[in-house]
């Protein structure tokens, strides 16, 4: 074998290492110029030659950096030719910020999975201030989501992206977003671009396949709701509209009253489209609060089925002719779904609301109503109505998920739309009809109730996904940490306390408040606060069927009892003043009564029946108020 081969056969760790570096003394001996007069070294003086320092130092360590810089310059020139006008510095800064945010999110997830004592899982899942803060512009996801005007059925064979028919939302995982990117990249190629679709000539039209079937199934031709003719008499219609805005819209601001009344005055409900259906459902819902012989033409034995009431006939008109789901959705679709659910909540078939709310949320997502990008920087009438409608659907979904014990259709992290503008209907537009959305300074807003309620119900939504989760989800949340439930409940209690501190002054509970609107709104808001407080702690109340006893049992029993008593006391004051506890508070009344009944039965079963008179009277008050609200 050759010498070179022998060298390669020797392990590198056993090779002899040679050092070619001179010691400090030898270096000083070789060059003493800096210490000599006029910086002339001894050797140059001896040889009588000029002593210079012009030869550059050996900077081999910088050669790699210079090569990288030249390479980067070439890449920047290439990018500039491919994408003219690109700001590479700005793009790199944005990419660096995204990577930094990704690392922060990954660290947060890692911390939540470790389950360390120093940082609880609940604190990671529900950080302070999370429940009611809005995302800033820097926190918005810069994904590839778009509100694309794309019809996925019409001309399916050529996938038209250039002739939109309606807004359809597509998220980053959608193949349509990938197709959009391919089209944009193809447009950048200029003359050498690749044809994405063949020319549709007469010669090739015979080979296109059964496109007629697609066009027959398409929702592209406007599927307009036909005009309605069976409306209430004008005097009753006006009364129903007023009752709807007083008893329903004041708590769930679905409609803009000035615009709605103007459309009614112009007779828009006699034309094809969604407004006629909206008006019929408003009348059907508002009639629940009206007492007139013309709306009570039903025998008592058929009353429970709502089969022959005028309100049900108005509702049935809409349900019978409601348009196909293949039609392009619009704002009326959201409002109609919500109004259908609102009407059914006052009937014996409240479970039917579930389907309407779920369909409404799907429709809103299809329109992109759940994304902040859907709304411009400046509020508009249609955008604000869409925002309100989607938020109402969310509250209906989360509320029914709790009352029916079912999973919710949408979660808080699935949406980033902003909260509604805190501006009452009469201040949306100026005298010229231009949108201004300016609440007068110092004037309390009625919409503040809905905004506060949105912040409160987020606590319930989080509780549904944690303390009410099925065993499989709980095992994933706990990660072997037996105290995760205690920390989660503690964080939920803390979030509710922070919510109380953030309630506007005109909505804080004051039994002597003079303004009737704010008085009823405040009572409703805090009755739901007590209801959600019960909801957070109810899973930990000990029952005779449970063998496992939670460390939270005693505390949860006390908190549930106090919340039930406070809710009954509050709603009793509302009932004595207004004659009704309001239909929106039926759930609070029922849950509070059941908590009190369970407490009474447990005390009697344990032989401690003394001092239960007040609790029994509280249950009797609940029964009285529930009977008073039966007609609503």
3-class DSSP state of 592: helix
Sort 260 into a burial class: Cβ within 10 Å, 0-12 / 13-18 / 19+.
Answer: buried
What crossing angle do the helices spanning 586-605 and 613-628 adopt, rounded to 10°?
A: 150
pLDDT at 519 over 60: yes
Those residues with Cβ within 8 angstroms of residue 98's Cβ, 6 or more apart along the chain or in another chain: 142
What crossing angle do the helices spanning 381-404 and 448-464 adopt, rounded to 10°?
A: 40
Residues for the chain: how many in total?
A: 632
Please name every residue paired with 168 in a beta bridge, in sequence order, or none if there are none. Answer: 148
58 φ, ψ to 5°?
Answer: -80, 110
| Domains: count for the chain | 2
Residue 15, both tokens: 């090779």
Residue 58 belongs to a domain? no
pTM for this one? Answer: 0.70
Residue 495 belongs to a domain? yes
pLDDT band at 136 (very low <50, low <70, confident <90, very high): low
170 φ, ψ to 5°?
Answer: -130, 125
| Euclidean distance between CA atoms 167 and 146, whole angstroms | 10
pLDDT band at 155 (very low <50, low <70, confident <90, very high): very low
3-class DSSP state of 587: helix
pLDDT at 148 over 90: no
| Euclidean distance between CA atoms 33 and 18, whole angstroms | 29
- Among 41-55, 289-303, 387-401, name the most confident range: 387-401
Task: For residue 435, give the DSSP letter.
Answer: B
- pLDDT for 578 equals 94
In Å, how far are 150, 389, 527, 568 from 239, measured between CA atoms? 42, 23, 28, 31
Higher pLDDT, 571 or 10: 571
| Euclidean distance between CA atoms 194 and 191, whole angstroms | 9
- pLDDT for 188 equals 64
In Å, how far are 92, 138, 414 from 99, measured between CA atoms? 10, 13, 21
| Euclidean distance between CA atoms 150 and 368, whole angstroms | 13
The domain of 167 spans: 145-193
| Euclidean distance between CA atoms 467 and 462, whole angstroms | 9
In Å, how far are 88, 144, 161, 165, 175 from 181, measured between CA atoms? 19, 9, 11, 20, 10
pLDDT band at 206 (very low <50, low <70, confident <90, very high): very low
3-class DSSP state of 168: strand
Half-sphere exposure of 449 (CA within 13 A, CB side): 23
Give me the residue label for tokens 């270096």.
27
| Euclidean distance between CA atoms 177 and 159, whole angstroms | 12
The answer to whether 241 and 314 are in contact (CB under 8 A) is no
Give me the residue label for tokens 């032989």.
607
3-class DSSP state of 579: coil
Please name every residue paired with 197 in a beta bridge, in sequence order, or none if there are none. Answer: none
Please name every residue paired with 147 in a beta bridge, in sequence order, or none if there are none. Answer: 169
Residue 375 belongs to a domain? no
pLDDT at 28 over 90: no
- pLDDT for 86 equals 73
Residue 492 belongs to a domain? yes
| Euclidean distance between CA atoms 9 and 340, whole angstroms | 85
* Long-range contacts (CB closer than 8 Å, 24 or more residues apart) made by 403-412: 403/587, 404/351, 404/354, 405/468, 406/354, 408/461, 408/464, 409/357, 409/358, 409/361, 409/362, 410/361, 410/365, 410/370, 411/461, 411/465, 412/458, 412/461, 412/462
The answer to whether 284 and 236 are in contact (CB under 8 A) is no
The answer to whether 372 and 387 are in contact (CB under 8 A) is no
pLDDT band at 125 (very low <50, low <70, confident <90, very high): very low
Half-sphere exposure of 126 (CA within 13 A, CB side): 25
| Euclidean distance between CA atoms 378 and 384, whole angstroms | 10
pLDDT at 196 over 80: no
Residue 582 belongs to a domain? yes
Residue 180 belongs to a domain? yes
Lowest average pLDDT, out of 44-48, 158-162, 626-630, goes to: 158-162
In Å, how far are 56, 187, 541 from 191, measured between CA atoms? 51, 9, 72
Q: How many helices (H) and strands (E) does the chain have?
A: 23, 2
Percentage of the chain lying above the pLDDT 70 cut: 65
Higher pLDDT, 216 or 464: 464
**In the predicted model, what is the mean pLDDT of residues 530-542?**
90
Residue 455 belongs to a domain? yes
- pLDDT for 245 equals 97
Lowest average pLDDT, out of 264-273, 304-313, 505-514, goes to: 304-313
- pLDDT for 80 equals 75
Half-sphere exposure of 505 (CA within 13 A, CB side): 3
End-to-end CA distance of the chain: 103
Count CB atoms within 10 A of the CB of residue 95.
11
Q: What is the mean pLDDT of the chain?
A: 77
Higher pLDDT, 623 or 185: 623
In Å, how far are 100, 260, 283, 317, 410 from 276, measured between CA atoms? 52, 11, 11, 10, 29
The answer to whether 260 and 241 are in contact (CB under 8 A) is yes
- pLDDT for 89 equals 75
3-class DSSP state of 429: strand
**In the predicted model, what is the mean pLDDT of residues 563-570?**
96
Per-residue pLDDT of 583-608, as tens digits, reads: 999 999 999 999 999 889 888 877 77
pLDDT band at 68 (very low <50, low <70, confident <90, very high): confident
Residue that terminates a domain, selected from 193, 223, 251: 193
Residue 342 belongs to a domain? no
The answer to whether 367 and 386 are in contact (CB under 8 A) is yes
Count CB atoms within 10 A of the CB of residue 388.
24
Sort 582 into a burial class: Cβ within 10 Å, 0-12 / 13-18 / 19+.
Answer: buried
**In the predicted model, what is the mean pLDDT of residues 392-399?**
97
């Amino acid at each position: 074998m050759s010498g070179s081969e022998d060298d390669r056969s020797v392990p590198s760790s056993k090779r002899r290492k040679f050092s070619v570096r001179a010691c400090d003394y030898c270096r000083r001996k070789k060059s003493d110029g800096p210490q000599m007069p006029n910086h002339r070294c001894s050797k140059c003086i001896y040889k009588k030659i000029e002593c210079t320092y012009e030869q550059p130092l050996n900077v081999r360590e910088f050669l790699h950096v210079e090569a990288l810089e030249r390479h980067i310059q070439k890449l920047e020139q290439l990018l500039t030719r491919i994408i003219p006008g690109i700001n590479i510095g700005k793009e790199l800064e944005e990419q660096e910020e995204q990577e930094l945010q990704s690392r922060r999110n990954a660290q947060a997830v890692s911390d939540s999975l470790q389950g360390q004592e120093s940082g609880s899982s609940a604190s990671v899942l529900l950080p302070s201030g999370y429940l009611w803060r809005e995302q800033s512009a820097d926190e918005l996801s810069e994904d590839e989501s778009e509100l694309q005007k794309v019809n996925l059925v019409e001309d399916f064979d050529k996938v038209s992206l250039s002739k939109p028919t309606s807004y359809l939302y597509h998220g980053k995982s959608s193949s349509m977003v990938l197709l959009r990117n391919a089209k944009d990249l193809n447009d950048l190629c200029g003359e050498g671009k690749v044809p994405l679709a063949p020319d549709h000539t007469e010669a090739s039209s015979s080979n296109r396949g059964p496109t007629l079937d697609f066009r027959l199934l398409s929702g592209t031709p406007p599927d307009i709701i036909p005009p309605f003719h069976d409306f209430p008499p004008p005097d009753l219609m006006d009364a129903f509209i007023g009752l709807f805005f007083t008893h329903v819209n004041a708590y769930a601001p679905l409609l803009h009253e000035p615009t709605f009344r103007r459309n009614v005055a112009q007779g828009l409900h006699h034309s094809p489209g969604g407004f006629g259906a909206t008006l019929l459902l408003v009348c059907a819902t508002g009639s629940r609060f009206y007492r007139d012989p013309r709306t009570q033409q039903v025998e008592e034995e058929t009353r429970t089925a709502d089969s022959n009431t005028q309100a049900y006939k108005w509702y049935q008109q809409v349900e019978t002719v409601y348009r196909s789901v293949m039609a392009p959705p619009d704002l009326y679709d959201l409002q109609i779904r919500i109004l259908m659910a609102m009407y059914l909540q006052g009937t014996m078939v409240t479970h039917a609301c579930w389907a309407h709310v779920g369909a409404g949320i799907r429709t809103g997502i299809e329109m992109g109503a759940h994304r902040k990008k859907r709304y411009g920087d400046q509020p508009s009438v249609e955008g604000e109505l869409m925002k309100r409608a989607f938020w109402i659907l969310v509250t209906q979904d989360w509320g029914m998920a709790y009352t029916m014990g079912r999973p919710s259709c949408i979660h808080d992290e699935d949406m980033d739309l902003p909260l509604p503008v805190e501006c009452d209907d009469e201040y949306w537009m100026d005298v010229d009809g231009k949108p201004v959305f300016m609440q007068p300074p110092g004037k309390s807003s009625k919409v503040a109730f809905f905004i506060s309620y949105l912040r409160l119900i987020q606590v319930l939504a989080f509780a549904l996904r944690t303390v009410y989760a099925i065993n499989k989800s709980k095992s994933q949340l706990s990660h072997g940490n037996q105290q995760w439930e205690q920390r989660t409940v503690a964080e939920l209690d803390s979030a509710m306390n922070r919510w109380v501190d953030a309630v506007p002054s005109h909505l804080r509970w004051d039994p002597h408040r003079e303004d009737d609107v704010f008085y009823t709104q405040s009572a409703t808001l805090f009755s739901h606060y007590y209801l959600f407080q019960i909801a957070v702690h109810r899973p930990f109340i000990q029952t005779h069927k449970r063998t496992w006893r939670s460390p939270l049992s005693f505390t949860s029993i006390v908190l549930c009892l106090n919340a039930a008593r406070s809710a009954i006391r509050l709603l009793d004051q509302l009932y004595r003043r207004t004659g009704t506890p309001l239909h929106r508070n039926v759930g609070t009344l029922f849950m509070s009564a059941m908590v009190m009944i369970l407490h009474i039965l447990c005390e009697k079963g344990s032989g401690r029946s003394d001092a239960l008179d007040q609790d029994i009277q509280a249950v009797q008050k609940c029964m009285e108020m529930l009977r008073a609200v039966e007609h609503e």
